């Protein structure tokens, strides 16, 4: 490595050949590159929420409702006790205190799950459990703690509670510890709107009104294809010159985490027939994602095949890592062609693929959570591209979010992406990010 670097330095390989004018090297001409925002807009304009499907409740977790749901019944359906205690008439308990308890005759024992058959008249009470229907005649519940029952229990003199008396030691007001029907949801209430994300609470509400299924935008099926003669899959023996297919796995994991279903199409050799055949397997997917073969390398024929199979544009996007990007359609299926370098592929998918998936899933909010953090080191950003820096965000002892790079930023260095919990975004026109600057960080965790 050192020898290579020295050779490069001797020959100054990093300098562009001065005799070639910039306009003839469009890939180096930032003015002719597509901005990240324009590229994202084109991608998002080309995808739409997937047609709704009806799924069992637990398959809807994390998905977006495609129908409004209006309650046709009350939750709770009947008046019930919010506490374990005694159902009483509040007026009977006036003036009750520890030194002067009001004594009531206990006329029944009411457990949750049964209709009440007792009636509370003046001077009586019923022992009642949380969730049990409030008996007729009662208008309040006095908690056990506000009766003499704990005391008697401690003294071992509870006796038969159905025939005994209870001492109330605190006055109750009407409706104390009583849940009226519809306290939570009344008939006609909108409990889920179309476009709402179905989180555990929404799932629970749907169950509470007896819905076993709900219409949602389905999980997108994302076909993932890696390309390259040098790429081999996990489990096979590495020959000289070969590298392991990590991209398919990183991308599939990202798809799963975003709520989609990855469809692994394996690896296509850099040959027209192999690529064509593998792309055929992708028909029926909601999105096709390829990695590799969109850069300027001589052996990259992905672009040519894509152009033959569908309508594809190859872009140079003003971003780092991940400048080359292909986007278009194979048949009617949108295709996102990512660069092969592992981090370029992952970051490009994060920036373009995840928002596209989120639109397909019906999410209104397509952007990741972003925080603003104070940079604690200097980062160069020559080249006028938007730099997504693998970074670690942490709170300072003073409670402020601070951000630093998570290691080497080479487009092939996946381990620094693994160390990162966010992508620090340095704007295109900021040549040097200085310590102390407040900059946005797209959170990965």
Nearer to Mg ion, 65 or 305 (CB): 305
- Taking a C-beta distance cutoff of 8 angstroms, is the pair 349, 356 a contact? no
Three-state secondary-structure class, residue 223:
strand
Total binding residues for Mg ion by CB under 5 A? 4
Can you tell me which of 133, 182, 292, 362 binds ligand AMP, judged by CB under 6 A?
Answer: 292
Q: Rounded to an integer, what distance in angstroms lies between the CA atom of residue 197 and that of residue 357?
A: 14
Partner whose footprint covers residue 124, from ligand AMP, Mg ion, none (CB < 5 to 8 Å by kind): none
Q: Which stretch binds ligand AMP (CB under 6 A): 28-36, 66-74, 295-303, 365-373?
A: 295-303
Residue nearest to ligand AMP (CB): 340
CA 225 to chain centre: 24
Compute the least distance from the CB of residue 270 to ligand AMP, in Å.
8
Compute the least distance from the CB of residue 328 to ligand AMP, in Å.
17
Q: Which stretch binds ligand AMP (CB under 6 A): 9-17, 143-151, 153-161, 293-301?
A: 293-301
Per residue in 25-53, is it b (16+ CB within 10 Å) or e — as a string? eeeeeeeebbebeebbeebeeebebbebb
Q: Rounded to an integer, what distance in angstroms lies between the CA atom of residue 138 and that of residue 127?
A: 11
Q: Scan residues 158-197 and list those touching Mg ion (CB under 5 A).
A: none
Three-state secondary-structure class, residue 435:
coil
Can you tell me which of 44, 243, 281, 366 binds ligand AMP, judged by CB under 6 A?
Answer: 243
Q: H-helix or E-strand containing 96? A: none
For residue 102, give every residue at least 6 positions away whose Cβ sits within 8 Å of its Cβ, in sequence order, or none.
Answer: 92, 93, 94, 95, 96, 167, 168
Q: Does the footprint of ligand AMP cover residue 246 (CB under 6 A)?
A: yes
Nearer to ligand AMP, 63 or 294 (CB): 294
Q: Scan residues 223-242 and list those touching ligand AMP (CB under 6 A).
A: 226, 228, 230-231
Can you tell me which of 76, 85, 218, 293 binds Mg ion, judged by CB under 5 A?
Answer: 293
CA 49 to chain centre: 17
Q: How many CB atoms lie within 10 A of CB 315?
A: 17
Q: Which stretch binds Mg ion (CB under 5 A): 8-16, 27-35, 224-232, 277-285?
A: 224-232
Report DSSP letters for 389-412, one per residue.
Answer: EEEEEEE-TTS-EEEEE-S---TT
What is the number of helices (H) and of strands (E) in the chain? 10, 27
Q: Does the footprint of Mg ion cover residue 292 (CB under 5 A)?
A: yes
Q: Does the footprint of Mg ion cover residue 228 (CB under 5 A)?
A: yes
Site string for ligand AMP, 136-175 (x = CB under 6 A): ----------------------------------------
Nearer to ligand AMP, 109 or 295 (CB): 295
Q: Scan residues 337-356 and list those touching ligand AMP (CB under 6 A).
A: 339-342
**Residue written as token pair 């599939």:** 252
Q: 261-268 and 221-227 as β-strands: parallel, antiparallel, unpaired?
A: parallel
Report DSSP letters for 192-222, one per residue.
Answer: E-TT-B--HHHHHHHHHTT--EEEEPPPPEE
For residue 37, give every residue at least 6 positions away whose Cβ sits within 8 Å of its Cβ, in sequence order, or none.
Answer: none
Partner whose footprint covers residue 295, from Mg ion, ligand AMP, none (CB < 5 to 8 Å by kind): ligand AMP
Nearer to ligand AMP, 161 or 246 (CB): 246
Nearer to ligand AMP, 182 or 339 (CB): 339
Say whether the peptide bond before residue 321 is cis (omega within 30 degrees of 0). Answer: yes
Can you tell me which of 35, 130, 272, 295 binds ligand AMP, judged by CB under 6 A?
Answer: 295
Nearer to ligand AMP, 134 or 263 (CB): 263
- Judged by the rule CB under 6 A, the positions of this chain that interact with ligand AMP are 226, 228, 230-231, 243, 245-248, 291-293, 295, 297, 300, 339-342
- Judged by the rule CB under 5 A, the positions of this chain that interact with Mg ion are 228, 292-293, 340
């Amino acid at each position: 490595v050192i020898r290579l670097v020295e050779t490069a330095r001797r020959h100054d390989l990093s300098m562009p050949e001065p005799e070639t004018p910039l306009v003839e090297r469009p890939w180096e001409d930032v003015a002719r590159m597509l901005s990240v925002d324009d590229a994202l807009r084109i991608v998002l304009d080309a995808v739409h929420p997937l047609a709704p499907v009806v799924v069992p409740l637990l398959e809807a977790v994390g998905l977006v409702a495609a129908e409004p749901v209006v309650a046709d019944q009350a939750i709770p359906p009947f008046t019930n006790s919010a506490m374990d205690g005694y159902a009483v008439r509040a007026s009977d308990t006036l003036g009750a205190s520890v030194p002067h308890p009001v004594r009531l005759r206990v006329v029944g024992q009411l457990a949750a799950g049964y209709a009440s058959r007792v009636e509370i008249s003046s001077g009586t009470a019923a022992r009642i459990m949380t969730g049990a229907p409030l008996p007729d005649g009662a208008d309040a519940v006095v908690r056990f703690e506000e009766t003499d029952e704990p005391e008697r229990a401690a003294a071992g003199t509870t006796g038969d509670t159905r025939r005994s008396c209870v001492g109330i030691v605190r006055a109750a007001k009407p409706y104390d510890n009583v849940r009226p029907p519809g306290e939570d949801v009344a008939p006609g209430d909108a409990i889920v709107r179309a476009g709402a994300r179905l989180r555990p609470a929404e799932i629970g509400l749907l169950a509470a009104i007896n819905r076993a299924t709900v219409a949602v935008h389905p999980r997108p099926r994302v076909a993932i294809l890696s390309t390259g003669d040098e790429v081999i899959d996990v489990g096979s023996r590495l020959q000289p010159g070969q590298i392991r297919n990590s991209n398919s796995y990183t991308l599939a994991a990202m798809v799963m985490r975003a709520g989609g279903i990855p469809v692994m199409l394996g690896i296509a050799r850099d040959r027209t027939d192999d690529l064509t055949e593998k792309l055929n397997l992708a028909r029926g997917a909601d999105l096709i994602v390829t990695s590799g073969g969109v850069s300027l390398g001589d052996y990259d024929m992905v672009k040519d095949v894509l152009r033959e199979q569908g309508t594809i544009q190859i872009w140079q996007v003003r971003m780092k890592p991940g400048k080359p990007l292909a986007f278009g359609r194979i048949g009617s299926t949108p295709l996102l062609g990512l660069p092969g370098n592992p981090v370029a592929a992952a970051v490009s998918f994060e920036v373009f693929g995840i928002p596209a998936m989120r639109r397909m899933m019906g999410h209104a909010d397509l952007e990741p959570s972003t925080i603003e953090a104070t940079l604690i080191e200097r980062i160069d950003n020559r080249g006028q591209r938007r730099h997504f820096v693998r970074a670690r965000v942490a709170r300072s002892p003073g409670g402020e979010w601070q951000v630093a790079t998570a290691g080497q930023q080479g487009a092939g260095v996946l381990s620094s992406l693994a160390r990162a919990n966010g992508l620090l975004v340095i704007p295109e026109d900021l040549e040097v990010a200085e310590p102390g600057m407040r900059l946005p960080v797209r959170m990965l965790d």
